[in-house]
Structure 1
């Protein structure tokens, strides 16, 4: 087994803390040409002080994410995928960095239970012992310590929130999101519906925060000017709600044939699918990518009762028959079981996303010529058209466009009873 450890991880708890260098020192400006300092020095030949969390032999990454509570399923995946990727890389000898050193990658993950205050406390606990924070799930939880990360100049990168705030380099210089912004997903649904050429009435239920607002904003912009699409009812719910039955009852009475459900809470999506059937309301559904799991959500929700359930994706689904023999998928499942102690077929796409994050970080590490957070952020912005493991055809990682996350391209898919099929038109 490799030297790969997780501080808090589902079935086990182990502690590994790596503190590199001699503390937090002023970073040396890195205005020299990339590649000139393979020995880790500046242009004058002087040594550059390493940032916390990195030595010549290892680098430590931190994660705060929900490992308990209603979002524990996808939250656990945010650790499992990256653990699988770097566990395999460590076992093969480590990652070669641009400064000439080969390092193992260690992970410290803490549970925030999708609670913003706990997420902020986790960041304070981790910030001086990890090199960068990554992979964690949630808009409110990541926002809770965003300002602190900027103040402390700690990278908060390739995180799982579609909040566009994290992809604006002017307002958020130490952050970068990984998954498509919510507006991108919402727009993909709207474009598909507008292009159908048939008249549709749409009911909307959205989470009453930036998450829900972003999806609805993108959807509305895409259908603007489309005479065949009419929004007939629009309601919201709170992320802390335990039931949305009242909203479903009101929406069912609207007569809508399409339901745009911008919801992030797994149990509420399942109960919404079930309640709609109980009411005899069977519209086509649009679901966000992070709450569209076939096995964890659609199957228990009885999604086959509806004429179509659509979502978007940029990752191959291991459970889909189309990818049963795919080499990327086979490697991923092997590494997931061996290095993340996750032997089951992933029920959430977050497992695949964090595996992709591992591959993307390896690309960034290869461009780092200095062991500093500042140089890491510079290198992070150089990834272009990278086909990360598990990426669907037509999508890619590109960190060079301001205002966009690492992944901004998606494809629309329709649930087929087991997995998803890519579609070109609304059916």
Structure 2
């Protein structure tokens, strides 16, 4: 049925033209798997259980965001069917769940699946199937490889760029640095380490000890003891929140007070710093690309106010100090805009085209001066960060925004 606004006078000729143009518009609709006139299916995996279960809130935050979108009428009249499965942060399980999403649920794309190793395990499969693997929930530098993996694109600043910023800050501010590194023994840890060592250049011999842990380990206590014994006066922790908290606590317990740097993924106030004890976290350094809700300087920001209203309505009772929530909100917004730009051409090829066509695009909750830019040769949407230091019970930014090209 074609509805005509009663306030507009329509002649028989113009009504016929309207009917004709509507038929043409309908004929121009292009859909791939997961799309109909009323629905868009999006696939996702997340560790709701297992060693990285603290990230399970990310999946719940996605669900809340897409519910809000649907409550507003969806995207171009289509409701979002967000299908999220638990992969336990286990790559074999991720492969199983993603195959189910693609082959049984028939989703249009995989969006913001979490974790470096889980996403590495599904990348070849999704690219062979030509299924968009969008805004990956990991900063591994390998996501920006359009030549070999044209269907996979990252989102956050990549690990190597972030690590290079820490390395250069250490060289500029700490005399006679002796660096100890605690790293997760997978692509997540190795990518950070490679970027860090590369940035140190001929000063890489300042790394006096590197110790690893497995994501399934119960604690990192023995690793921290090893690092103190090495004589290190600087610690770079490449850790997820559970192990960040353990490392900070153990260092305090044994009286070790290195200058401590932590990767952005391990710095949640709610799930890392608070469990570690705020008194043990003072002066720790990280970097940020998002506004931190625990930093009161953002209280008057319009985007922060809108986010808090969203959280109050769709995630009441959630811990708003957990950076997983603003991170998820920002990438969901980008995905929503990507789908909107597709219009009625909801093919996988067009979805990928739109995802790689943003220029200096402002996304809510990104720190001022940081925007999203992509192209068919640039699959790194965000390439800037700002250093932050833990003070009191929150992170406080210092210095200026640092872009990848000058990190």
TM-score (norm 1): 0.82
Q: Distance in 2 between matches of 1:372 and 1:267?
A: 40
- Offset of 1:197 from its aligned partner? 6.1
CA distance 1:139–1:91, change in 2 (3 Å): same
- The 3-state SS of whatever aligns with 2:384 is coil
Instruction: Report if the CA contact (8 A) 1:388-1:397 is conserved.
Output: yes
Counterpart among 140, 145, 157 of residue 180 in structure 1: 157
Tell me which residue corresponds to 1:368.
Answer: 342
Residue 400 to residue 350, structure 1, CA distance change in 2 (3 Å): farther
Distance 1:40 1:405 in 2: 39
Distance 2:23 2:176 in 1: 62
* 1:46-57 superposed matches below 5 A: 47=28, 49-57=30-38
TM-score relative to the length of structure 2: 0.85
1:343 is matched with which residue: 317, 335, 355? 317
Please state whether the residue corresponding to 1:346 is helix, strand or coil: coil
Q: Summarize the Cα distance change of 1:183–1:41 in structure 2 as closer, same or farther, 3 Å threshold.
A: farther
- Residue 308 of structure 1 is matched in structure 2 by 283
C-alpha RMSD over aligned residues: 2.5
Count of aligned pairs: 377
Contact residue 174 and residue 377 of structure 1 kept, 8 A: yes
CA offset digits 1:148-176 (Å, max 9, x no partner): 11122111111211122222111111111
Between the aligned partners of 2:112 and 2:223, the Cα distance in structure 1 is 33
- 1:60 partnered with 2:36: no
Change (3 A) 1:198 1:86: same
Kept in 1: contact 2:263–2:287 (CA 8 A): yes
Question: Which of these two proteins has the greater Rg computed from alpha carbons?
Answer: 2
Q: Which has the higher contact order (CA 8 A, sep 6+)?
A: 1
Return the alpha-carbon distance in structure 1 between the equivalents of residues 353 and 287 of structure 2.
30
Asked whether 1:237 is paired with 2:218, we answer no
Q: 3-state SS of the aligned residue for 2:135? A: strand
Tell me, yes or no, if the aligned pair for 1:284 and 1:306 is still in contact at 8 Å: no
> Does the 8 Å contact 2:282/2:392 carry over to 1?
no
- Stretches of structure 2 lacking an aligned partner (at least 5 in a row): 1-20, 401-407
- Partners of 1:319 and 1:419 within 8 A in 2: yes
Give the conservation status (yes or no) of the 8 Å contact 2:146–2:379.
Answer: no
Correspondences of 1:15-54 after superposition (within 5 Å):
47=28, 49-54=30-35
Unaligned ranges ≥5, structure 1: 1-37, 97-101
In 2, the alpha carbon distance for the partners of 1:40 and 1:319 equals 52
Asked if 1:221 is matched to 2:201, the reply is no
- Are 1:394 and 2:375 an aligned pair? no
